[in-house]
Structure 1
Amino acid sequence: MPLQIISRMLMFSIAFFSEETVDYQKQVRHVLQDRCISCHGALRQEGGLRLDTAAAAIKGGDSGAAIQPGKAAESAMLDRIAAKDLSVRMPPEGEPLKPEEISAIRLWIEQGANAPADEVPESDPREHWAFRTPVRPTVPVAQNPEWAVNPIDGFVAAMHQEKGVTAQPAADRYTWLRRVTVDLTGLPPTYSELDAFLNDQSPDAWETIVDRLLASPQYGERWGRHWMDIWRYSDWWGLGAEVRNSQKHIWHWRDWIIESHNADKPYDQMLREMLAADELYPNDLQTLRASGFLARQYFKFNRTSWLDETVEHVSKSMLGLTFNCAKCHDHKYDPFSQREYYQVRAIFEPYQIRTDAVVGEMDFEKNGIPRAFDCNLDAPTYVHRRGDDRNPDLENPVTAKVPAFLELDEFSVSPVSLPAEAWQTGLRAHVLDTLVKTSEKRIQDARLALEAAVGKLEEAEKRALQKPDDAETTDVEPQVLVQDNFAAEIPDRWEQRGGKWSYANQKLLQSQTGTARAALRLKQQPPADFQATLHYTPTGGDIWKSVGIRFDGIGDDGDEVMIYLSSYAGGPKSQVSFRDKGNAAYPGEGAEARPVNLNEPHELTIRVRGNLINVIVDAKPSVAYRLPVERRPGNLELIAFDATAEFLSFTLSTLPASQAMTDAPGKPADSAVPVDQAQLLVSLAEKNVAAAEAELPSLHARAKAQRAQVENPGQPSTVDLIATAVKAERTVVALQAEASAVQAELSVLQATHEKKGEAESMLAAARTKADETRKAIEAPGDSFSALIGALKTAENNLETEESRRKPFPSSSTGRRTALAKWMTDPRHPLPARVAVNHLWARHFGRGLVPTVFDFGRKGTPPSHPELLDWLAVEFVESGWSMKHMHRLIVLSQTYRMTSSIANAAPQNVTSDADNRYYWRRNPIRMEAQVVRDSLLSLAGELDLTLVGASIPVAEETSRRRSLYFVHSHNEHQKFLSIFDDASVLECYRRAESIVPQQALALENSPLARQMAEKITDRIESAQQQSSSTASDDRDFIRQAFVTVLAAEPSELELAASLDGLEQFTQIALSTGNTDAQKRGRANFV
């Protein structure tokens, strides 16, 4: 029997025997909307066919009717959706329709293709609500005027009435203060702030709180972190020192975000600066930090991926549109084409990244401002067929433009002529100033080195004249100053400064773990130059397991130098670290990866001479390091950091002048040198002084010539300045070559027999080069090295260092300026709506438009469209002030409502369980940064220092706010990652999770334990200052609730807490804790 007949019989039997009528809206229209409308709807009609209504499907397109009511077998649409041939099957992209979906459509057709008579076709996509300029609507009059304290409440109350829900009452003062303080600053309120608010009965008490919080510097950090999420902030990452994504020193952009929020910089101005600061403010280094937004998009290995991400995240974060969906084909839902996607890409096509020098630093590895600039001004843009960059349409280049449906006026691009200092960056005054100061320091160092060399020569000559019997012997052996085998305590020798120390079995034991440092301070101050040896056995610890010697210590937490061995499982090592002016450093060149096994004895020896430190571990050289900071007299301590250990012996001795030291990086620096070598050292130092002294006039001469080339090209005076600069620079080169020749001569004297021939060859080459550079001084030429104040980031792996240092273009395309002006035009329908929706979402846990990055036709419509438009217009008319919008939101009754569902009207829960219409305030989980910062703040440990370089993840004991930690694909703070930290790829909304690891981190992490102990101490101290006693557990629990949660405990909570506290105390007693009450209270906290 033919297959077609069987198929028709099956369809007949299905229609005949089925008693179920297909629900068109749920089973058919839903499928057509999801899978077919993008090509057969109002936006486009492939083959002249529309499928957005049943009537349109019956009418058909160029090939006739798509469906025949009652005749599924004769319906062309059914044949196409059920086809096995991929060239015929519809839809052409993605997975085929599911069998049950096809069956439902087939049955619907057989049942007559019935649909509602009033079915409305899709409206013109260009008339989509989000694509129309918002107009301020009239604020509805609330039925309860006392509830609607500001316009926000009027709109929300109107929706309550329409949807039949009832607003919950206001939260109590405790709850509101904690809510608004955390919302605006990311920190909990202090006890005194709570007390002041509770006692402030003035009618403007709430406004006073909000104004204080918005004026706080912590506001900028809190809301800066929110926008860092939205704008995809990420520190650089790559492989080793190679930057592959984002940029080094991108933290300057983060600081700009924080400072802009604190200054209430208008949002439209922030957008203009992020997109086009280099064209609008080309010489303003503070403003140029804003273009870190574009620098963050950098990706070294694929320019297409780089620009794809730029287009995608500019459109999502600033416009709430998914331009990226049109990379391979016309957008399926919104009215812009694939070609228009590449027109937007063309706006960014010329831009690259460079790092501009900051005042006082010319080493771009150490600091600098990463920023955008237009580099390749004529770079073409082509449509990539099907999104494949290997298949561009080279015959039809595209021009920079915005999508036509959003064009307000003709998109006009005007090239920007840049001031000289913006492209000849060496002309910036601070560049020459910094180079001059560096040169002066080099001269000073060279002169000091000459004095030292002369002293060595005098010593060598003195030794050469001495008879063997006259040789000094007084300083050959070290003088022992301290020797302790820790068999018993010697109170006059050591002072305990933290930790748990005890003597047992001829050993000194340290048994405290955690990140509070354990220290044993020597009461005798060591000499400036000394040798110290510590024998010890590490026995445990939580993480770091570090033991070592601290010297030059100023107080307990001041400047210091510390050498330690770490048994950290993730990378045991020896390490030289130091703290200078409060800044801790753990230099890589001061570390050596090496095994430091637990329960095995180790010997740590350090030799200190001036700024030179030698570290010897288990009788083997480990590290030679020169401190880059000035030493100051201070105390010496034996330290343990998160380590238990047995201390076996310690010896402190003088360091004889005859003791050979290894200089960093690995060159012998023995003070006893032969006369011939000492003479060459003096000659070398003299040459270095001459070269350093010649560098200063060279800098000034080159700076003058460089400016003359820009301002007076070709003039006789310019020619003379160039000649002077050339000669001055060549003189420096010649003197440096002479110094190199002397160094090569010294190497010959120091070379071993096997290396002598190689050293002599190098000496000959060095002398030849010195001769050539001397002769070149007077040779004709007009080429000199321009001063450089910026360094271009490599576009790819092939770009040379030389090309990265070339002068930059003297003009910019102006494309990004045109984009920024278009985007911040008050008539633009999207940026203000998108921004206020983000503000609302971070205050209420969900945006008025839940799809915060998609305001297009595929996105979720707003729950309160009139409120959204009112907020958008208010935002623009307030001067784009974010602080103004925050004030409106947090002072609304909508924001003040309780989040509890207790005593809620039954219809609230049944008709709006998701709280879409805001009959209560959504509960919002504290995100990662708030969790950590709150712990530190409550413990009185939070360092409120604003801005600055990112903190390495390894410095997890830092007390700075969490947003300052390095945050990248390669590195992130582990504690933060447990609590839903921001993704570096995109984070338009924070994910929220509840997982066991979070509870474990709050219970067992060193940070949580330490802060709980300090919070407990603060509560007990407050008890002692009040009328209660510290031993009163009920009062302690009440104080803990108020301090940590800003809430009074209920009687039920109080009873449960008393029971829990008793259990914690009993557990502490059972483990032999000497202060069980405090341990129990800390565990309770």
Structure 2
Amino acid sequence: MPMSDWKPSIMIRCFLLLFCLLAPQALPAEEIDFEEQILPILEERCLYCHGEDEQESGLRLDLRARMLRGGDSGLSAVVPGKPEKSYLIEVINHVDEDMAMPPDDDKLPDEEIDLLTRWIKAGAVVPGQMDDVVNEEIDHWAFKPVVRPDIPQRGVSFQLATPPQRGGSQLATPPQRGGSQLATPPTPIDSFLLKQLAEQGLSYSPPADPRSLIRRVSIVLTGIAPTPEQTNEFIEASAIDAQQAYTELVDRLLQSPHFGERWAQHWLDVIRWAETNGSEANLYRKNAWIYRDYVVRAFNEDKPYNVFVQEQIAGDSMGAGEATGFLVAGPHVPAATVGREPSAIRQARADRMDEIMQTVGASVMGVTIGCARCHNHKFDPITIQDYYSMTGVFQDVEFGSRHPEFAPDHPRRQRGEEIWKQIAKQRAVLRPIGGWEEDWGAFREMHFKPVTTQAIRVRFKMGNVGLDELEVFGPDNYGENLAHKRRGTKVSGFPEDGTEGRNPIRRVNDGEYGTMAWRAKKDKGSDQQPYVQFDFEQPEKISRLRLSSNREYFYDTDYLDKKPYLPRYEYDVDVLQSDGTWQPWVGTWFVNTQLDKEHPERKAALREIQNQIETLAEEGPRPSFVGRFVRPEVTRVLLRGSPENPRDEVDPAGPAIFDGDLGLTQQAPGPKRRAEFAKWISSEENPLTARVMVNRLWHHVFGSGIVPTTSDFGKAGAAPTHPELLDWLAAEFVHPTVSGNEAWSVKSMIRQMVMSAAFRQASEPRSEGIAKDAGSALLWRFPPKRVEAEVIRDSILQASGALDRTIGGRSYRIHNEKKTYAQWEVVKNYGPETWRRMLYQERMRRVDDQMFTAFDFPDCGQVRAKRPVSTTPLQALNLMNSDFVIHQSERIAERAEKESDGELKSSIIRCFELLLSRQPDADELDSCLDLARQTSLSLVCRTLLNTNEFAFLP
């Protein structure tokens, strides 16, 4: 066929066929020879720092499996087939100069970079290593499953007779029935301790005397010293049957409502709970105290610990919404301080998520999870992917307030339902009359006759308008915002860009309350007033509008001298009719003024509604700083912890080393994420949860944990002094075999500890014990320790007779009301309004309470699993000269005089009984008589308050 007869389409097809036949090798990826082309580059450029002998930043490049795993950055150095996701390609291309590789050398030649890129794209083939994997072995004791050890078989008799007390026979113990010895079988705890003591050639000290024992166990269990009457009763009962007397004492203390207060304080220390956010503004967290009351209640009810943990993570779906205050207990920077710069907002959000990680890691897991925020953990097998997978669990949590979800039998919910009935009764009076407005503090709500419409328009009569949210509700599905953007509702109006283009109108229906608002200002000389229009996806039946200017500010904070301002909005509402015209429906002027003239009874009904609203805010479910919930965002690994460098997506999960796969995806709703994580972390299969909690209980009973670093069970933490005992306690906590009580019972575990002979032994030093174990870690004696600030303060109030023992409720105030960015100042910390237990004192971050901060009371900025114990001159000065101590010492002296008929010698004896639970010896009595005659009895009291005997656990 001549060329002139070929058609163009035939020529093109033939050309393509010829190309495919002649060049088939151009289609598949070019094969790269690793030995000849890639290995020489690695040997010359990389393996000196990242080879067999040295692995800087934890990265090793001579093994394919280690390339896939990556180094400390947490990013895979090589992702087969995906050079764009391979961190190796990024660093050799000097994308980030701070991480350019090789360091201090010129960039690799382009041809070498090209070879490495094509090698990875072709599958990163390394002959002989294609099936190799890196398995992270669990070689650390704390990460291995709990295995119950056998109890050492060792019998022993304990001497229970008490040595003579100082002061002669004043309060000496009478001889015990049956002689000076009582055989007592050792508890399992004692069996473990005695075995280890015997290996060191040590033994227990003699038993503590009854006076010391009741003071010790009372403070450990309730945080309050015993009264003189309780002390004498116990001494008398111990003389008859020491074992029975002590058992009854322990049971009574465990059932005391003050038990929950004492142990709640320990928990609040660990999670850094406070009532201010700790930032520059350090704003007060409104009603955060309901979480504190939840913790007190949980310990008093002996809520199983696994349930206690679950509720604090997912209480909103368990009828315990106040428990989620746990998640937002740490400090945070509020939106008003962050500003509007997008990068600053992203950074602040990442910081808040890290606070949650620190709280969960330190309190429940006993692992420093936060160390993996920027790179793989340096010591423990927790990767940066683990860290961000855990943040994925809590992506729906935001620092702020909400109405907590309460179970049907919760007293606050029941009271709320009563109040709502009264509000509904008054609304029924108003409904036939016409529209009305209610002021809920955070928002104003307009009620009007129901109407079905496709769109509404709110026309403001005000020149300046600020709205963080404008919500529309109907008589059906009472709490559903029909105007929310998630329902497809379109918002428009004037001006659309808000003031100076910085406050767009889309903010009025985005579901976010706070500073990000629509702000509109009428132009001078213009007749155009601000308005908002909502177009619904389909006709909706509406009956209420809700408007607010900064609802978050009202819900979240309080005690400011300039209260959050809620303007009275003046507006008219139009509804769109089926013919496309707008019909005026309701106006605030008519509702607020004209109807009052026409219906005088309307004012009384409105006044009653406002009264009930105020009552509801105080007695019913109230907006409280226990966290608010948002729609979860996609979770990504942030390279070096920077929100500006997001990498691969990760699903919500716990750390892989602990089998933390929850079977969830990015599409899982927030409550489900937290509920599944709560089940996982509180399961008996988790190797850390039970170990960490029983060790924490041991720490507060004996003064130091079996693992001294109570919130770090990782490789950087301290080793356990009694590893077998720790595992036995953990196993017993989950599956009780000795106590016969319920699983995960905190009270039962504490009871076993304080019933042990180890707890009941004397605290006096012995030369052989000091020589071998100066810190008393092996418990050859009960380790003496200074009591906490709260114990000192509460015991002073008890001695004076002023202690208000009311359980729970709003914190008592000692601070001023302040401007937003001013600092809190202590106004009065010693008046009658402050005479409750110190647990209920306003707990402000970064504020010295001018008295008990000197006794190492934490400021709640850092985890305080173990409070430091310092000795400073300020402590003595505060216990001698502070207004609180002077005032209470005068009251103690007055009480002693009254109860001693004014006789000075008897009054001094009574002061000793009230403060030290004993009578003075002859020398002490003579010295105090001289001091009282020269000065006053109150100065004797102040002197006793400054003794080690008052401030130390015997």
TM-score computed with the length of structure 1 as normaliser? 0.49
* 2:926 is the counterpart of 1:1058: yes
Change (3 A) 1:239 1:310: closer
What is the identity, as a one-letter code, of the residue corresponding to 2:696?
A: H
Which residue is 2:384 aligned to?
Answer: 338
Which residue is 2:757 aligned to?
Answer: 893
Any conservation in 2 of the 1:354–1:791 contact (CA below 8 Å)? Answer: no
Match runs of 1:467-482 below 5 Å: none
Which residue is 1:289 aligned to?
Answer: 322
Which residue is 2:475 aligned to?
Answer: 704
Q: Aligned match of 1:136 in 131, 148, 153?
A: 148
Which residue is 1:222 aligned to?
Answer: 262
Partners of 2:52 and 2:699 in 1: CA distance: 29
* 2:684 is the counterpart of 1:826: yes
* 2:903 is the counterpart of 1:1031: yes
Any conservation in 2 of the 1:152–1:867 contact (CA below 8 Å)? Answer: yes
Which residue is 2:918 aligned to?
Answer: 1047
Any conservation in 1 of the 2:324–2:627 contact (CA below 8 Å)? Answer: no
Partners of 2:285 and 2:914 in 1: CA distance: 41
Any conservation in 2 of the 1:1061–1:1081 contact (CA below 8 Å)? Answer: no
Partners of 1:690 and 1:873 in 2: CA distance: 62
Report the alpha carbon displacement of residue 783 of structure 1 after superposing the two structures with TM: 13
My pick for the range that moved more, 434-443 or 194-203, is 434-443
Report the alpha carbon displacement of residue 834 of structure 1 after superposing the two structures with TM: 0.5
Which residue is 1:841 aligned to?
Answer: 699
Change (3 A) 1:996 1:949: same
Q: Aligned match of 1:210 in 242, 250, 253?
A: 250
Change (3 A) 1:315 1:794: closer
Partners of 1:238 and 1:1037 in 2: CA distance: 45
Q: Aligned match of 1:274 in 289, 307, 312?
A: 312
Change (3 A) 1:430 1:1017: closer
Any conservation in 1 of the 2:287–2:624 contact (CA below 8 Å)? Answer: no
- TM-superposition CA deviations, 1:485-509 (whole Å, max 9, x none): xxxxxxxxxxxxxxxxxxxxxxxxx
Which residue is 1:391 aligned to?
Answer: none
Q: Tell which structure's C-alpha radius of gyration is larger.
A: 1
Partners of 2:858 and 2:275 in 1: CA distance: 13
Aligned-residue CA RMSD (Å): 4.9
Match runs of 1:350-369 below 5 Å: 350-353=396-399, 355-357=401-403, 369=404
Partners of 2:932 and 2:232 in 1: CA distance: 29
- TM-superposition CA deviations, 1:238-290 (whole Å, max 9, x none): 689x776x842111110000000000001110110111112x32xx2xx1110
Which residue is 2:722 aligned to?
Answer: 864
Change (3 A) 1:303 1:1039: same
Partners of 1:238 and 1:1047 in 2: CA distance: 43
Change (3 A) 1:1021 1:783: same
Report the alpha carbon displacement of residue 848 of structure 1 after superposing the two structures with TM: 0.5
Change (3 A) 1:41 1:226: farther
Change (3 A) 1:269 1:700: farther
Q: Aligned match of 2:221 in 184, 201, 204?
A: 184
Change (3 A) 1:1038 1:691: closer
What is the identity, as a one-letter code, of the residue corresponding to 2:287?
A: H
What is the identity, as a one-letter code, of the residue corresponding to 2:903?
A: S
Tell me the SS of whatever aligns to 2:401.
Answer: strand
Which residue is 2:286 aligned to?
Answer: 248
Report the alpha carbon displacement of residue 725 of structure 1 after superposing the two structures with TM: 5.9
Tell me the SS of whatever aligns to 2:769.
Answer: helix
Any conservation in 2 of the 1:890–1:896 contact (CA below 8 Å)? Answer: yes
What is the identity, as a one-letter code, of the residue corresponding to 1:949?
A: R
Change (3 A) 1:812 1:988: same
Report the alpha carbon displacement of residue 346 of structure 1 after superposing the two structures with TM: 1.9
Which residue is 1:1005 aligned to?
Answer: 882
- TM-superposition CA deviations, 1:552-575 (whole Å, max 9, x none): xxxxxxxxxxxxxxxxxxxxxxxx
What is the identity, as a one-letter code, of the residue corresponding to 1:935?
A: I
Partners of 1:39 and 1:262 in 2: CA distance: 57
Any conservation in 2 of the 1:1064–1:1081 contact (CA below 8 Å)? Answer: no
Q: Aligned match of 1:348 in 394, 417, 423?
A: 394
TM-score computed with the length of structure 2 as normaliser? 0.55
Which residue is 1:852 aligned to?
Answer: 710
What is the identity, as a one-letter code, of the residue corresponding to 1:924?
A: K
What is the identity, as a one-letter code, of the residue corresponding to 1:132?
A: K
Change (3 A) 1:46 1:191: same
Any conservation in 2 of the 1:953–1:971 contact (CA below 8 Å)? Answer: no
Report the alpha carbon displacement of residue 843 of structure 1 after superposing the two structures with TM: 1.3
Q: Aligned match of 2:781 in 920, 926, 931?
A: 920
Change (3 A) 1:277 1:299: farther
Change (3 A) 1:347 1:774: closer
* 2:749 is the counterpart of 1:881: no
Change (3 A) 1:45 1:1081: closer
Tell me the SS of whatever aligns to 1:135.
Answer: coil
* 2:858 is the counterpart of 1:982: yes
Report the alpha carbon displacement of residue 330 of structure 1 after superposing the two structures with TM: 1.8
Change (3 A) 1:848 1:438: same
Change (3 A) 1:793 1:977: closer
Which residue is 1:25 aligned to?
Answer: none
Partners of 1:690 and 1:913 in 2: CA distance: 75
- TM-superposition CA deviations, 1:990-1041 (whole Å, max 9, x none): 11111111111111112112222222233333334xxxxx4352x4444333
My pick for the range that moved more, 701-710 or 858-867, is 701-710
Report the alpha carbon displacement of residue 218 of structure 1 after superposing the two structures with TM: 0.5
Report the alpha carbon displacement of residue 38 of structure 1 after superposing the two structures with TM: 14
Tell me the SS of whatever aligns to 2:273.
Answer: coil
Report the alpha carbon displacement of residue 166 of structure 1 after superposing the two structures with TM: 2.5
Partners of 2:668 and 2:145 in 1: CA distance: 38
Tell me the SS of whatever aligns to 1:296.
Answer: coil
Partners of 1:795 and 1:211 in 2: CA distance: 36
Q: Aligned match of 2:212 in 164, 175, 190?
A: 175
Tell me the SS of whatever aligns to 2:398.
Answer: strand
Tell me the SS of whatever aligns to 1:1007.
Answer: helix
Report the alpha carbon displacement of residue 951 of structure 1 after superposing the two structures with TM: 1.9
Change (3 A) 1:1018 1:858: same
Partners of 2:360 and 2:101 in 1: CA distance: 36
Tell me the SS of whatever aligns to 1:706.
Answer: coil
Which residue is 2:491 aligned to?
Answer: none
Partners of 2:735 and 2:757 in 1: CA distance: 23
Identity of aligned residues (%): 29
Report the alpha carbon displacement of residue 775 of structure 1 after superposing the two structures with TM: 12
Any conservation in 1 of the 2:367–2:712 contact (CA below 8 Å)? Answer: yes
Change (3 A) 1:884 1:784: farther
Partners of 2:913 and 2:384 in 1: CA distance: 58
- TM-superposition CA deviations, 1:110-159 (whole Å, max 9, x none): xxxxxxxxxxxxx9851211111112211112352446531111111111
Any conservation in 2 of the 1:875–1:885 contact (CA below 8 Å)? Answer: yes
Change (3 A) 1:305 1:782: farther
Partners of 1:299 and 1:225 in 2: CA distance: 24
Which residue is 1:935 aligned to?
Answer: 796
Partners of 1:183 and 1:1019 in 2: CA distance: 27
Partners of 1:875 and 1:691 in 2: CA distance: 55
Tell me the SS of whatever aligns to 1:126.
Answer: coil
Partners of 2:204 and 2:222 in 1: CA distance: 27
Partners of 1:699 and 1:1044 in 2: CA distance: 68
Partners of 1:299 and 1:38 in 2: CA distance: 45
Match runs of 1:131-530 below 5 Å: 131-142=143-154, 144-146=156-158, 149-200=186-237, 201-202=240-241, 203-237=243-277, 247-278=285-316, 280-281=317-318, 284=319, 287-297=320-330, 298-300=332-334, 301=338, 302-353=348-399, 355-357=401-403, 369=404, 437=422
Tell me the SS of whatever aligns to 1:171.
Answer: coil
* 2:829 is the counterpart of 1:961: no
